[in-house]
Amino acid sequence: MKDGLINRKIYKAVKKMDRQEIEAFLAEIYHQGFQDGVVAGDSTDFKIKLAEVLNNTKGIGPKLFERIMATVKELGL
């Protein structure tokens, strides 16, 4: 869990919310988390596809494959 996800101001606001307000608040949190998951999933899919393509490419052995994947990791892809 990310540090500082909820601060004192948000905590107090949540305590004062009625049922409809808390439902809207939680729905917004859910949508933000879903979007974060979509973004993370896109890069994961890219890495899997890249690994498959590299493994099927003639001339790319285990050492070169590891160097390429290390570079991809450094780039944050």
**pTM (predicted TM-score):** 0.48
pLDDT per residue rounded down to tens, the chain (77 residues): 456 778 999 999 999 999 999 999 999 988 988 888 777 766 667 788 888 888 888 888 889 988 988 888 888 76
The pLDDT of residue 55 is 85
For residue 1, what pLDDT is reported?
Answer: 44
- The confidence score (pLDDT) of residue 16 equals 95
What residue ranges do the domains of the chain occupy? Answer: 8-75
Distance CA 49, CA 34 (A): 22
Residue 15, helix vs strand vs coil: helix
